[in-house]
């Protein structure tokens, strides 16, 4: 299974989860909610992803986690690598034994051999059975937990737990015997072709928050959850890029959230959000400027080599509405948003009789080097077969993308969508992930 396919999460389910999160947040922030919530305990953790080797091995990444635990909920925030790690909209949420398998949970995003891997953290809170004894086993979120021994360390009563899941991964956990909060963990991590790594997580600080701070944290938490629900991202999202709507939603909510979080342990998160929103605004402004320049201008001519053999010229498409879709079209790693090619295929088939033609243009670097062209063509054919794509997929030396405007030159991302009207003029230019209503399509 591809690392990008670990959450069997439909758009409809995503919408339902967003509604549930929003309702939960609204309930907590209502009168008698956050203000009256029992005390919150703040826990801080230091973590590392380690590649085994000589001595203690090589630390590939360090990260930090904090949780805000109360009888009502356990809220987490993960501080991962700012450039390649977990994007801020996915770096926080609710966790604990009551969360579902489809709900966003704390994870790293780590690139290994060109593939982004979701690396789930060990459970930050465990539900301990009331009559727990050594040898007692139970299940939590797909893991079988077994209590091995209870002991006291530094005046803290802890349970040692061993965790296993069906695929053979193991975790060693030490949890607070009273609250079930994690104290220390070591977890097996696998990436690539079964390459094994180690993740460690150690609690570095814990304190009960004064009433005023607890109230500020609870209100900040609820506002952040409302924003997260409004953004509507999938729990397996990889891209840090937000849509225009999402950037606007984040910007609109930011001042209020920043005011609530000022002086609290969540202030760092709000500063990160603000910095990213400003960067994303500039990216969108650049894309909008490029779109305005291209709009209603004659589209450049082109000739593409087809991955299935032969060639395709823009001259053969005259009089048609043409959708150019620039993307890597690689079968491995299969990365977001590969699923959107299915919408293009549906559109191509549905509107074929109305003089519409979709053309995929692969930006796979293999197709730019003579010694790797055959591999690049095979990769495109494989994903076309996997996604049942009938529309042509071609490539050139990169000239067409450069002429139209490569969004990556202004911190944007592919795919790029360009619509050329039957009159041969550019009608639409959109860079990045499309927000698609599954009921309506493109």
Averaged pLDDT score across all residues of the chain: 89
| Per-residue model confidence (pLDDT) at position 116 | 87
| Per-residue model confidence (pLDDT) at position 5 | 38
Residue 100 forms part of a structural domain = yes
Residue 157 forms part of a structural domain = no
Question: Does residue 300 sit in the same domain as residue 392?
Answer: yes
pTM: 0.81
According to DSSP, the residues that pair with 151 across neighbouring strands are: 158
Question: Does residue 277 sit in the same domain as residue 305?
Answer: no
The pLDDT of residue 105 is above 70: yes
Question: Does residue 304 sit in the same domain as residue 415?
Answer: yes
Residue 168 forms part of a structural domain = no
**Residue 195 backbone dihedrals phi, psi, to 5 degrees:** -70, 130
Question: Does residue 306 sit in the same domain as residue 248?
Answer: no
Q: Considering its fold, how many domains does the chain have in total?
A: 2
Question: Does residue 205 sit in the same domain as residue 306?
Answer: no
Residue 230 forms part of a structural domain = yes
Question: Does residue 273 sit in the same domain as residue 309?
Answer: no
Q: Is residue 240 helix, strand or coil?
A: coil
| Per-residue model confidence (pLDDT) at position 10 | 37
Question: Does residue 109 sit in the same domain as residue 243?
Answer: yes
Which DSSP helix (H) or strand (E) runs through 244? helix 244-261
Residue 108 forms part of a structural domain = yes
According to DSSP, the residues that pair with 377 across neighbouring strands are: none
Question: Does residue 199 sit in the same domain as residue 266?
Answer: yes
Between 161 and 53, name the one with better pLDDT.
161
CATH number reported for the structural domain that contains residue 365 in this entry:
3.40.30.10
According to DSSP, the residues that pair with 437 across neighbouring strands are: 441
- Summarize pLDDT for 207-241 with one digit per residue, the tens: 999 999 999 999 999 999 999 999 999 887 888 88
Residue 171 forms part of a structural domain = no
Which residues have C-beta within 8 Å of that of residue 390, sequence separation ≥ 6? 345, 348, 349
**C-alpha–C-alpha distance, residues 264 and 435, integer Å:** 33
Question: Does residue 275 sit in the same domain as residue 389?
Answer: no
Q: Tokens standing for 18? A: 């967003």
| Per-residue model confidence (pLDDT) at position 18 | 44
Give the pLDDT band (50/70/90) at residue 29.
very low
According to DSSP, the residues that pair with 416 across neighbouring strands are: 326, 431
Q: Could you say which of 246, 281, 316 is where a domain stops?
A: 281
| Per-residue model confidence (pLDDT) at position 423 | 96
**C-alpha–C-alpha distance, residues 253 and 234, integer Å:** 20
Q: Could you say which of 224, 253, 281 is where a domain stops?
A: 281
Question: Does residue 268 sit in the same domain as residue 346?
Answer: no
Question: Does residue 394 sit in the same domain as residue 250?
Answer: no
The pLDDT of residue 441 is above 60: no
Residue 131 forms part of a structural domain = no
List the domain range (segments joined by +) for residue 398: 296-431
Give the pLDDT band (50/70/90) at residue 440.
low
Give the Cα-Cα-Cα angle 343, 346, 351 (nearest 5 degrees): 125
Residue 289 forms part of a structural domain = no
Question: Does residue 226 sit in the same domain as residue 333?
Answer: no
Q: Could you say which of 252, 281, 310 is where a domain stops?
A: 281
- Summarize pLDDT for 312-326 with one digit per residue, the tens: 999 999 999 999 999
Give the Cα-Cα-Cα angle 6, 220, 282 (nearest 5 degrees): 70
């Amino acid at each position: 299974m591809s690392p990008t396919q670990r959450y069997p999460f439909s758009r409809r389910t995503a919408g339902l989860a967003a509604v549930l999160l929003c309702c939960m947040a609204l309930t907590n922030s209502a009168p008698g909610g956050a203000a009256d919530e029992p005390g919150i305990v703040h826990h801080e953790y230091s973590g590392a992803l380690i590649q085994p080797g000589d001595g203690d091995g090589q630390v590939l990444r360090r990260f930090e986690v904090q949780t805000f635990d109360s009888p009502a909920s356990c809220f987490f925030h993960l501080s991962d690598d700012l450039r390649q790690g977990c994007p801020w909209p996915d770096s926080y949420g609710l966790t604990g034994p009551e969360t579902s398998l489809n709900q966003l949970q704390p994870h790293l995003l780590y690139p290994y051999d060109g593939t982004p891997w979701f690396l789930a953290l060990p459970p930050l809170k465990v539900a301990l059975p009331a009559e727990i004894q050594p040898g007692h086993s139970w299940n939590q979120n797909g893991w079988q937990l077994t209590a091995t021994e209870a002991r006291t360390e530094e005046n803290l009563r802890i349970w040692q737990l061993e965790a296993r899941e069906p695929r053979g991964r193991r975790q060693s956990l030490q949890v607070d015997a009273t609250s079930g909060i994690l104290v220390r963990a070591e977890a097996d991590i696998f990436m690539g072709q079964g390459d094994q790594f180690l993740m460690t997580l150690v609690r570095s600080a814990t304190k009960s928050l004064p009433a005023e701070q607890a109230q500020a944290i609870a209100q900040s938490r609820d506002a952040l959850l409302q924003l997260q629900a409004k953004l509507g991202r999938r729990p397996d999202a990889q891209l840090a890029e937000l849509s225009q709507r999402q950037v606007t939603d984040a910007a609109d909510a930011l001042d209020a959230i920043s005011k609530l979080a000022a002086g609290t342990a969540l202030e760092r998160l709000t500063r990160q959000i603000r910095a990213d929103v400003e960067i994303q605004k500039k990216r969108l402004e650049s894309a909008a400027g490029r779109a305005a320049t291209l709009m209603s201008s004659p589209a450049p001519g082109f000739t593409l080599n087809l991955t299935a053999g032969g060639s395709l010229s823009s001259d053969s498409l005259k009089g048609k509405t043409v959708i150019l879709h620039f993307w890597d079209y690689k079968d491995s790693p299969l990365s977001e948003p590969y699923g959107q090619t299915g919408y293009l295929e549906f559109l191509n088939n549905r509107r074929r009789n109305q003089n519409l033609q979709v053309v995929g243009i692969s930006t796979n670097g293999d197709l730019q080097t003579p010694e790797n062209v055959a591999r690049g063509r095979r990769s495109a054919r494989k994903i076309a077969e996997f996604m049942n794509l009938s529309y042509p997929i071609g490539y050139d030396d990169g000239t067409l993308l450069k002429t139209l405007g490569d969004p990556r030159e202004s911190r944007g991302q592919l795919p790029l969508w360009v619509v050329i009207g039957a009159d041969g003029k550019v009608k639409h230019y959109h860079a990045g992930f499309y927000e698609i209503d599954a009921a309506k399509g493109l």
